[in-house]
Amino acid sequence: MTECYSERMPRIRVLVLSCALLLAGATAADAQAPSRGSTLALGELSKSLQDLAEKVSPSVVQIFVTGYAPPEEQNETGSAEPTMQRSSGSGVVLDADGFIVTNAHVVENATRLDVELPFAATGGAQGRSIIKRRGRLVAAKIVGIDHETDLAVIKVDAAGLPTVPLGDSDALRPGQIVMAFGSPLGLESSVTMGVVSAVARQLEPEDAMIYIQTDAPINPGNSGGALVDADGRLVGINTLIYSQSGGSEGIGFAAPSNIVRNVFTQIRRNGRVRRGEVGVSPQTITPVLAEALGLPDQAGVILADVDPKGPAARAGLQAGDLVLTLDGKPMENGRQFRVNLYTRPIGDVVRLDVLRGSDRRTVSVTIGERADDLARLAEIAAIQRELLPELGVIVVDLTDQVAKVLPERRADSGAVIVAVAPDAPYSQQGKLQPGDIVRAINGTPVRNMTDLKHLSAVLKPGSAVALLVERQGDLMYVAFRVSR
């Protein structure tokens, strides 16, 4: 996956022309000699696209980021110390009080965020010049980041901002016209058009996170921008492209609006995303598996495993049950089952039609919180925690309760990082992360958060620090200099 430029105008013209001819009901002969009807249809289509762009653009903002360069970029330059860089991306106003959704990778290493609100969005009068007035630059803060979906929510101190209504991404179909809004390569308020190439595209096998694939041109700087349908509803957040040349080749991906809605709502309410599960391992029934187990041909999902302590087991489900429907929707494969549960909130109830032998039954299962969600550490550590300003982290002791969230670990002692400040000291080996277990600092073993507190308190600004941390069962050094 790389990024670059591409000449897309010929393709766009063909698309617009073909749409106009289709709307006019033109024949091949009509295409050679356009009728008045086709000309009117083309003009109407053009006007509708202009109106759509004018309606959506004020709600799409440009984000300016000052922060540390990613470790891989510093390794390429051979830099011995962390370097600062400036970059930009896009965002979409979803709440009039200044809440903006964007991509996590746009803002995650930021030490400073500024958002340029379009001039019209801040109460300015609409000018007559084709050269638009630049908007007002305001500071922004990060409300929350969700790495699993690569989405983030930021906030600016403003009110009455224009918003984009959220659409239903599940209703999208291949071939549907969409428009991408953002600031590619720093060119603010840019608009491109294309179609939905595919829906529910997985980038990793068995991944519950899915994307909308589109050929609407997307380039660097478009990340976090809006993908809207013909009615001006947000159906996706532009996230990434696949490219062999480094430029837009018509293979772009956007996070679906139904996933965006869930992430935005939870981050705004709780500052993080809580994810649910029902405690099963769904698996697609292949023809060979069906033949070997003597299963009916129409069955699509079998529960290979059911957690004895999970919600599904409490509802009466068993390993070997065949899932026929979820809330009335036929389940054809394990991937579909995971995707349909992905956006369901904790505490929600789903109805499963299952087949056990020849017995068909309906089971109601309450969604429970995912046990291994590292974001739970901040809630678990509500009381017994320490802020270490020298390291820019909050830590807790590795208690039995914390250990349940960290199943992969080498020992039952240590100081567990539960939160990292945005301006925490940076390392070429990577930033510290929630869930890291500090095992030693500058060669001295760390048994608990008290040890780490005392050892870090004597560090002076500019001192070199080497933390030995355990991350998902693997040991690694994170080395940096104390910045304060």
| 251 vs 234: CA distance, rounded Å | 19
Please count the CA atoms within 13 angstroms of the CA of 341 that sit on its side-chain side: 31
Burial of 131 (0-12, 13-18, 19+ CB in 10 A): exposed
Judge whether 454 counts as a catalytic residue.
no
| 209 vs 253: CA distance, rounded Å | 12
In contact, 67 and 109? CB cutoff 8 Å: yes
Judge whether 483 counts as a catalytic residue.
no
SS3 133: coil
Radius of gyration of the chain (CA): 26
* φ, ψ dihedrals at 376, nearest 5°: -70, -20
| 460 vs 393: CA distance, rounded Å | 16
| 426 vs 311: CA distance, rounded Å | 41
Name which of 224, 212, 214 is nearest 194 in CA terms: 214
Which residue of the set 223, 243, 248, 257 is catalytic? Answer: 223
Tokens (6 digits) for 235: 């159906």
Judge whether 129 counts as a catalytic residue.
no
Which residue of the set 87, 90, 146, 150 is catalytic? Answer: 150
Burial 39-71 (b: 16+ CB within 10 A, else e): eebbeebeeebeebbeebbbbbbbbbbebbbbb
| 255 vs 417: CA distance, rounded Å | 29
Give the DSSP per-residue string, 422-460: TT----TT----TT-EEEEETTEE--SHHHHHHHHHT--
Tokens (6 digits) for 38: 């086709």
Phi-psi region of 385 (alpha: psi -120 to 50; beta: other; left: phi over 0): beta
| 392 vs 432: CA distance, rounded Å | 9
Which residue of the set 59, 88, 105, 353 is catalytic? Answer: 105
Q: How far is CA 201 from CA 222, 254, 339, in A?
A: 19, 10, 11
| 323 vs 360: CA distance, rounded Å | 10
Residues annotated as catalytic (active site), given as ranges: 105, 150, 223
